[in-house]
Amino acid sequence: MQIPAKPINEQDRLLELQQLKLMHTEADANFDIITRLASAICDVPIALISLIDADKQWFKSKTGWDICDTERDISFCAHAILQPKDITIIPDSRLDERFKDNPLLTSDYPVIFYTGVPLLTKKGNAIGTLCIIDHKPKTLSNSQITSLKDLASQVESLFELRKSNLQLREVESLLQKKNEQLRKFAGTVSHDMKMPLANMILTTDILKAKYAPSFDEQGNNYLSYLKQSSFSLSEYIDNLLSYYESEELTVQNLEVFDLHDLLEDIIDLLNINEDYIINLPENGIDIQTNKSALNQILLNLITNSLKYNDKETGIIDINCVEDHAYYYIQVSDNGKGIPQDKIESIFDLFSTASETDNKGKKGNGIGLSTVRNLVHSLDGIISVSSKEKEGATFDFTIKKVSA
């Protein structure tokens, strides 16, 4: 018996095999279909997808074969990969000096006929074979040989697809780690900034109360600007914290509550003046979900409707219906609306639809991104429709939780 030699690219070949992470994995229907087809097309009892490791030959897929692996030294496929660009056809292994006294020839089901197509990576390394076996001498027609090569190409495509998927998972995992680091960094920095900002606001009030008579009008204006800027930065930090905290919320912590009661609490909190009309859903509806998440969603949407309304009388309509699977909630207004070129990006972080609100303040583009995160955390989706100068409508769903 002739022990198969090692290819000159052995280390590179083994490295690519390891990167695929296919050895000793569960059966895969995609590969099994190919071995069944190979067996049927070539009219043989056995078809295998073999992977040649450093010392072993392991079968990723097998039709008509019970053995999971063999030693590489007795492997027919280990010979086949030595000619990576050619198909290896052995009509009768008993007549081939390479396989004299090979244990696979003396078993109850001897490997007499063998044909193997090397399975190549993009770099040209043969990491295994698609092979067929019979217990008696045999020959293949040209069409059978062509079909076997075509099936081998499909196996190679599956290998490449797996490699791409593994790479994507690694990138996704890395991005998740980086995002988590960024979230923690932003949270830490934001928390650390809140106390100095509070001190700045308090110090500004003390300076104004104690030394206002000593300052001229411009000096007092500077103090007002400083306080206003501190409040704006504090609000920005609060919104940033809400955004990152929203990524951690889930549909857990369920409560059953009346939507009317929640909306009335929000309206009381906002202390809305007489220039606005808010129409609540006609019928009361009990909702079971994460109350804190829904409260923050509605608070953001209603606040935006108030801040960006330029009409003499602002109108906000809130509706809710349900079916067996979802709650459907709609918040619409008659405000400034959203420019069409902003619709696509309105939920992106730091994206704003309007230069300033009705008090002349510029938004920070965090609120609606937070809303989207919260809706997604409740297994829902959100969308917006708008006509500029006529108003905007936000529709979102909340998935019902099975009891």
Cβ neighbors of 96 (< 8 A, separation 6 or more) are 90
Q: Which of 184, 190, 397 is nearest to 294 (CA)?
A: 397
Please tell me what DSSP assigns to residue 156: H
Question: The pTM is what?
Answer: 0.53
Given a contact cutoff of 8 angstroms between Cβ atoms, the answer to whether 23 and 55 are in contact is no
Residue 115 backbone phi and psi in degrees, to 5? -140, 130
Q: 151-154 long-range CB contacts below 8 Å, 24 or more apart?
A: 151/34, 151/37, 151/38, 151/41, 151/117, 152/117, 152/118, 152/119, 154/34
pLDDT digits (tens, 9 = 90+) for 309-348: 888 889 999 999 999 999 999 999 998 888 888 888 888 8
Q: Which domains does the chain have, with CATH numbers?
A: 10-169 (3.30.450.40), 249-399 (3.30.565.10)
The reported pLDDT for the residue numbered 170 is 87
Consecutive 10-residue averages of pLDDT for the chain (403 residues): 92 94 93 97 97 95 93 95 95 93 87 97 95 96 97 96 91 80 69 74 83 83 78 67 58 80 87 82 86 87 88 91 92 90 80 62 71 88 90 93 68
Alpha-carbon separation of residue 31 from 44, 264, 350, 376 (angstroms)? 17, 60, 47, 36
